[in-house]
Amino acid sequence: MVGGLRAGLGDTGLSCAAIEARVERFVAMGTRIELHLFGGGDTDALAQARSAIEAVDDALTIHRPSPTTAINYCLAAGRSAPVEDPILLDALAAVAAAWAMTVGLFDPTVGGAGGETGGWPLVTFDRLAGRIEAARPLAFDFGGFGKGYALDCAADALLVGGATSAFLSAGESSIVVLGGHPLGGKWPLTIPHPFAPEETLVALELEDEALSISSTVGAGAQAPWRAPMVRPTDGAIVTAAATTVAVERSGAAAEAMSTALLVADEVAGRRLGGKVPGRRHLFLFADGSSVSRTSAGSIE
Amino acid sequence: MTRDFTFSRRTFLDRVLTASAGVGMAAAAPWAGVAQAEPTGSDRVRLGVIGTGDRGRALIQNILKTRNCAVAAICDPYAPHLDKARALVPAGTATFTDHRAMLDARGIDAVVVATPLDLHARHSLDALDAGLHVWCEKAMARTIKDCGAMITGARSRSKVLQIGHQRLFNPTYLNALKRAKAGEIGEITQVRASWHRNRNWRRPVPPGSNLDRELNWRLYRARSAGLMTELATHQLQVANWFMDGLPTRVMGSGSIAFWKDGREVYDHVALIYDYFDGRKTIYSSLLNNARYGCEEQIQGSKGTIEPELGRIYMETPPGSVPALARMRKDVQAGRKGAIPIGGATWFPELPVTTPGDSLGWGEYDETMLQFEGFGEAVRSGKELPGLLRQAYHASVASLLGEQAMDTQQAIAWPSDLIPV
């Protein structure tokens, strides 16, 4: 097992009254969402959180008409586009920050005549003017980044609603926790080994943090519609068996970082780990059925 | 009439009324409320039935159950069919072997046409010329032009023309439409309809006779468009109804893939009907596999309606993530356990097998109700509103599908149809 739990497992012996969670389960962002609220929060806090996620879905989806498809139509045709939707504006600003943080290894642009990736450097995004354009035809697919961003918006809504302890999940690979565990301490999590789900790959604890897991192996990566991971800096398809885990302050940043780690080669992975001190990243190359090496920071 | 039947009829009519009363239903099914009303007058409308084959006799049995219609005459040139029909009607009912003789004999208020498809137009127009109202089996006619001629003929003579589409009177279908109009299954973007059978569709022909094209008229192109006009018409009507619009074009492929027995019509048809804004009806019919039977799957963003099964299925979110369910139980029990997360997020997309909810009801007399409605239309001289439009467009859709398959080209919806 890589890493380890620090504390808090087992029966706490607490004698407090049973803590009931309030729960919202629904489908959005192309996956199943679960919002578990344990502490604090107005009566409609969960509903507000759900609305926040659904609003992000409406703004960022490319599977039905949306503000994102509206700019995609223009950008794919080589034209500039107005960006009026406030959620899309915020998301694009978050993309800019994530691209910089990951040294260009996270890039949600796709398309172009040659199917090129890595288009963000060619994008001119003027947030104040509400306008975007690109030097070549391209389009946006926010993918997993959108899930993390949506969970961030839900967490914001819960905070505004007075929530103090909550666990938010989007498809099990994107997690945001608000506050600490309802029984005290941090939230203890274990991540299954991609080849042997009954075994633990890594254990870690979270508090007011976000977790993202990306992988080129395991059941999630075998979905028939799953596109290959492409390194945006050189267009190479990532074929190495790898699983990456990123813990960040926000869901969007965690998603960007886990994706960047996955497409990075080993050198770039080390650079990423060192670039954001204090954050926790795990970069696992898998060889056959066993994890062979860990680099680029560590999960404590 | 038995007390049980009286009760079931009243219950049935109440269900039609309930189903047809809803937001948007007055526009979507304006005939239903009219048809279920109590009949007016005491004299029964006298019907002459032309064509007493299997379908004609089924119609006779339904007419006999109505409160306002009577079978006053029957007509068929094929003696075995006429004999079977004679056994169903009261003794002394006039019988004919030639439809013109029946029309000339008078004594009827309207005709029921249940003859082979290629004869629908001629028999209907002859009846209209004789000053009679017409109820005609679907599909309307062998050609789109003849479908229009039947409408023009009825309009110019101020006579009622009604086409047999019993689903328009079926409480399950009406209830399904009501729930779709209420938005329960979200935006309907696709109808997937099929009518699959596993039989050769041939009727026995007396040995030594030359009656094959008479009895098996459905298998020959001069007389029928086969699966399209005899089966698909019903379901294309349902598709248009739930889509609340008409196709913009149709593409298709047809073949004789199994019953290579000299028939001329396809035994396999597969078509796509495009509607405004990218919506589609996907249709298939075949004659050598009955696994999927007859069904229309009305597919919306929030659910699916399958009216033949009488079920409505909601797009249910997937169940709870097991690890998170355990987390909640642990917290409730005062235990702080590790939360295993980040496992497989992909699950095979197998067909949903949840049972769904019932749309209600079971056995119906919708064909009977069609005739009660027709009887009232004949009495008033006014068609039941909306019916003919549905029927005309369903017949056009089926015949257009045949053209698309024959030409192997996408065929645009005609712009020169008769306004209905």
pLDDT tens digits along B287-309: 999 999 999 999 998 899 999 98
B316 in contact with A at a CB cutoff of 8 Å? no
**Residue B340 pLDDT:** 87
Residue A168: enclosing H or E segment and its boundaries? strand A163-170
The mean pLDDT of A243-262, rounded to a whole number, is: 89
Question: Above 70 in pLDDT, residue A2?
Answer: no
Token duo for residue A221? 């990566």
pLDDT for the residue B315: 80
Mind spelling out the 3-state secondary structure of chain B? CCHHHHHHHHHHHHHHHHHHCCCCHHHHCHHHHHHCCCCCCCCCEEEEEECCCHHHHHHHHHHCCCCCEEEEEEECCCHHHHHHHHCCCCCCCEEECCHHHHHHCCCCCEEEECCCHHHHHHHHHHHHHCCCEEEEECCCCCCHHHHHHHHHHHHHCCCCEEEECHHHHCHHHHHHHHHHHCCCCCCEEEEEEEEECCCCCCCCCCCCCCCHHHHCHHHCCCCCCCHHHHHHHHHHHHHHHHHCCCCCEEEEEEECCCCCCCCCCCCEEEEEEECHHHCEEEEEEECCCCCCCEEEEEEECCEEEECCCCEEEECCCCCCCHHHHHHHHHHHCCEECCEECCCCCCCCCCCCCCCCEECCCCCCCHHHHHHHHHHHHHHHCCCCCCHHHHHHHHHHHHHHHHHHHHHCCCEECCCCCCCC
The answer on pLDDT for A295 being more than 50 is no
The segments of chain B whose pLDDT lies below 70 read 1-10, 12, 35-36, 316-319, 343-354, 360-364
Q: Give the nearest partner residue to A9 out of B336, B344, B345, using CB atoms.
A: B336
ipTM for the assembly: 0.80
Which of B328, B329, B347 to substitute to test the interface with A, most A CBs within 10 Å?
Answer: B328
What's the Cα-to-Cα distance from B300 to each of A61, A205, A237, B167, rounded to whole Å? Answer: 18, 42, 37, 20
Predicted pLDDT of residue A118: 79
Q: What residues of chain A lie within 8 A of the CB of B317, using their CB?
A: 25-27, 32
Please check whether residue B352 touches A, CB under 8 A: no
3-state secondary structure of A261: helix
The number of C-alpha atoms within 13 Å of A180 and in the hemisphere containing its C-beta is: 6
- pLDDT at position A236, please? 67
Phi, psi of B282, rounded to the nearest 5 degrees: -110, 120
Residue A32 is predicted with a pLDDT of: 85
* Surface-to-core class of residue B262, CB atoms within 10 Å of its CB (0-12 exposed, 13-18 middle, 19+ buried): exposed
User: In B, which residues are within 8 Å of A20 by CB distance?
Assistant: 332
CB neighbours of B334 closer than 8 A, spacing ≥ 6? A11, A12, A13, A14, A15, A16, A18, A183
CA A167 to chain centre: 15
Greatest mean pLDDT range, A17-21, A66-70, A283-287, B98-102: B98-102
What pLDDT does residue B342 have? 74
* Shortest CA distance from B328: residue in chain A: A21
Tell me if chain A has a CB within 8 Å of the CB of B317. yes
State whether residue A104 sits within 8 Å of chain B by CB: no
Chain B residue closest to A6 (CA)? B338
Enumerate the domain spans of chain B: 3-168+365-384, 172-316+351-361+395-412
Q: Which of B318, B321, B336 sits opposite A12 (nearest CB)?
A: B336
Residues, chain A: 300
Phi and psi dihedrals of A173, rounded to 5? -100, -5
Q: Using CA coordinates, name the residue in chain A closest to B322.
A: A172
Cis peptide bond N-terminal to B27, omega within 30: no
A297 vs B56, higher pLDDT: B56
Quick check: A238 pLDDT over 60? yes
Decide if B278 touches A, using CB distance below 8 A: no
> What topology does CATH give the domain B3-168+365-384?
Rossmann fold (3.40.50)
**Would you state the pLDDT for residue B20?**
73
Higher local confidence (pLDDT), A176 or B345: A176
The reply to whether B213 touches chain A by the CB within 8 Å rule is: no
Nearest CA in chain B to A173: B342
**Looking at the predicted structure, is the pLDDT value of residue A176 above 70?**
yes
Q: Identify the H or E element spanning A97.
A: helix A86-101
Percent of chain A whose predicted confidence (pLDDT) is above 90: 48
The answer to whether B12 touches B368, Cβ cutoff 8 Å, is: no
A211 neighbourhood in chain B, CB within 8 Å: 341-342
Please name the residue of chain B whose CA is at the shortest distance from the CA of residue A221.
B346
Beta-bridge mates of residue A169: A34, A175
Q: What pLDDT is attached to residue A1?
A: 28
Those of residues 210-249 in A touching chain B at CB distance below 8 A are: 211, 213, 218-220, 222-223, 226, 245
Residue B296, pLDDT score: 96
**Whole-number pLDDT of residue B320:** 76
Distance between B363 CA and the closest CA of chain A, angstroms: 37
Q: Which CATH class is domain B172-316+351-361+395-412?
A: alpha beta
Chains A & B: contacts with CB separation below 8 Å: 112
B178 vs A224: which has the higher pLDDT: B178
Does A186 contact B at CB distance below 8 Å? no
pLDDT tens digits for B184-215?
999 999 999 999 999 999 999 999 999 999 99
User: Closest partner residue to A192 among B320, B335, B342, by Cβ?
Assistant: B342
A200–B340 CB contact, under 8 Å: yes
